[in-house]
Chains A and B, each alone.
Chain A
């Protein structure tokens, strides 16, 4: 790669060309192992899954590709409520994450001094390093029937209200949709807070001063200045929350009852217990397609709204 300064002028052109070619080859050599890994263990399995979903057979006799599209229809009929629950729980959890995470991200970015900012950030990130299964199980204690949360909610007659709406049942929280949504919100909250914080942190405080000088009220400043600038963080945060939440089956399994099960539970059951691989493949294919579709629409919407 060393350019020889003594090189005679006519030689310079081929030398440059050779260097360019070698540079290009370097790029491919750098890419090769990582990309090969992703192609073999991510992309090819996706294609494989597509083919598996159209196969029929059993584990003993082997599976054959028979273009059996009915698997998709059967899976949809059997699991339609799982899909509805997955997307509605994930949507509620995402909105809650935004509502809970925004004030915290705002506090870290604008209200805390340097020392507190670091302390809070560590507290937000540290749960990442503790097994989330253990933390989810802790919610079983917090929300238990005789526990303080249920007691307080009962005292305020809030559980009677949520019972009526269908969020809870029988004056308890565990094994109800509320518990599952609560667990999902808790588990994916850091994924909302961190992108929100990074987008809020970049805002120049002088913008707030300028808006203030122009007689904008605090809420107007938030609506017209802060929130629009933080929109990329909002989009990133909602995606990072919604996508994993809609595929999750751990919260539904640990905190819910069989009637709160989500698509993830279905895929897990079909794959690991029933060993009906075509059904599992069809379910995850539908889940993937729906999520990709929703994400595309959402990103397009968020993008245009930001421009207008």
Chain B
């Protein structure tokens, strides 16, 4: 017994870490398990019996796959917009000295330090006052707005940590500015841009609060669908989509890491 206690004491931190990880992963496991459930009532909170119905017919619920497609569409466009605009701002901040720098930095920082509901309500108020119809466009505008800052932060860090001598070397070897940018700067900054884009996609795809305040009656994104379902009755298919997203995310990150390792091994 005392040996066990000693062992526990020696590994206390790791044990606490494992418990924390279990806390993080547990809901995903519950979502997975309940995707095989055949619930009795409208809600999928209590286990009744095993069934693969939801997996064989994932789009069997009205409007759900449509909302998923809408979410994907918005997330892709928002990622594109935020990445392009954010990368430009990041380069300006990392490379140039100009008047209004402090104000620009504050403007980039503030959306990340603001509770979502405040931004959501204020943007919604603006659209209301301007009599702009809520819908696809207003959601897209809002998503680009809150993703922008994250892209700027990710790309700026990468540009700042770049060795300026690499670009100087390219110039010394008579590369034009365009060539230098396309063949030296951009490949070196690419991981930062990729990280910013990935984060934008995840944030936009999963956003609920800002979307709820800025969407119209016909534009129901996937999180909006889940929210509505949580009040009316949740189809099991929601768990199938949730599990699918989790698996896709893990596969994506593992594949990305594997590719990065291979590239590193070759270099």
A73 within 8 A of B: no
- Report the nearest B residue to A90, measured CB to CB: B115
A113 CB, nearest partner CB in chain B, Å: 12
Answer whether A139 and B208 are a contact pair too, CB < 8 Å, given A48-B125, A107-B13, A268-B117. Answer: no
- Write out the residue numbers on chain B whose beta carbons fall within 8 Å of the beta carbon of A146: 46
Bitwise, A8-41 to B at CB < 8 A (1) or not (0) is: 0000000000000001101110110111011101
Main secondary structure of the interface of A (DSSP, over half): helix
- Write out the residue numbers on chain B whose beta carbons fall within 8 Å of the beta carbon of A263: 117
Give the contacts of B194-215 with A (CB-CB under 8 A). Answer: 202, 205-206, 208-209, 212-213
A261 within 8 A of B: no
- Complex CA gap A292/B113 in Å reads 8
Q: Are A264 and B115 in contact (CB under 8 A)?
A: yes
Answer whether A291 and B111 are a contact pair too, CB < 8 Å, given A49-B125, A124-B24. Answer: no
Answer whether A127 and B24 are a contact pair too, CB < 8 Å, given A34-B86, A243-B113, A277-B125. Answer: yes
Give the contacts of B1-57 with A (CB-CB under 8 A). Answer: 13-14, 16-21, 23-28, 30-31, 34, 45-46
Answer whether A267 and B122 are a contact pair too, CB < 8 Å, given A30-B92, A104-B20. Answer: no
Stretch at the interface among B162-170, B182-190, B244-252: B244-252
B108 within 8 A of A: yes
- Report the nearest A residue to B249, measured CB to CB: A129
Q: Are B242 and A38 in contact (CB under 8 A)?
A: no
Bitwise, B116-137 to A at CB < 8 A (1) or not (0) is: 1111011111101100000000
Stretch at the interface among A154-162, A209-217, A227-235, A280-288: A280-288
Q: Are A144 and B46 in contact (CB under 8 A)?
A: yes
- Which of B20, B234, B241 has the largest count of A CB atoms less than 10 A from its CB? B20
On chain A, the number of residues with a Cβ less than 8 Å from chain B's Cβ atoms is: 85
Q: Are A186 and B249 in contact (CB under 8 A)?
A: no
A111 within 8 A of B: yes
Give the contacts of B77-119 with A (CB-CB under 8 A). Answer: 85-86, 88-89, 91-92, 95-96, 98, 104, 107-108, 110-111, 113-119
- Complex CA gap A2/B19 in Å reads 60
- Which of B19, B95, B242 has the largest count of A CB atoms less than 10 A from its CB? B242
Answer whether A45 and B123 are a contact pair too, CB < 8 Å, given A108-B17, A111-B17, A131-B222. Answer: yes
Q: Are A45 and B126 in contact (CB under 8 A)?
A: yes
- Write out the residue numbers on chain A whose beta carbons fall within 8 Å of the beta carbon of B222: 131
- Write out the residue numbers on chain A whose beta carbons fall within 8 Å of the beta carbon of B126: 41, 44-45, 48
A262 CB, nearest partner CB in chain B, Å: 10
Bitwise, A135-162 to B at CB < 8 A (1) or not (0) is: 1111111101010000000000000000
Answer whether A190 and B24 are a contact pair too, CB < 8 Å, given A27-B92, A111-B17, A250-B209. Answer: yes
Q: Are A125 and B253 in contact (CB under 8 A)?
A: yes
Contact of B230 among A129, A133, A248, A295 (CB under 8 A): A133
B247 CB, nearest partner CB in chain A, Å: 9
Contact of B245 among A39, A45, A130, A138 (CB under 8 A): A130
Contact of B226 among A35, A38, A131, A272 (CB under 8 A): A131
- Complex CA gap A108/B116 in Å reads 30
- Write out the residue numbers on chain B whose beta carbons fall within 8 Å of the beta carbon of A49: 121-122, 125
- Complex CA gap A76/B158 in Å reads 44
- Write out the residue numbers on chain A whose beta carbons fall within 8 Å of the beta carbon of B92: 26-28, 30-31
- Complex CA gap A107/B22 in Å reads 14
- Complex CA gap A134/B237 in Å reads 11
Q: Are B107 and A43 in contact (CB under 8 A)?
A: yes
A224 CB, nearest partner CB in chain B, Å: 17
- Write out the residue numbers on chain A whose beta carbons fall within 8 Å of the beta carbon of B115: 243-244, 246-248, 264, 287-288, 291
Stretch at the interface among A115-123, A163-171, A300-308: A115-123
What are 12 contact pairs spanning A and B, CB under 8 A? A24-B96, A34-B88, A35-B89, A41-B123, A42-B119, A46-B122, A103-B16, A128-B249, A130-B246, A131-B223, A248-B115, A280-B121
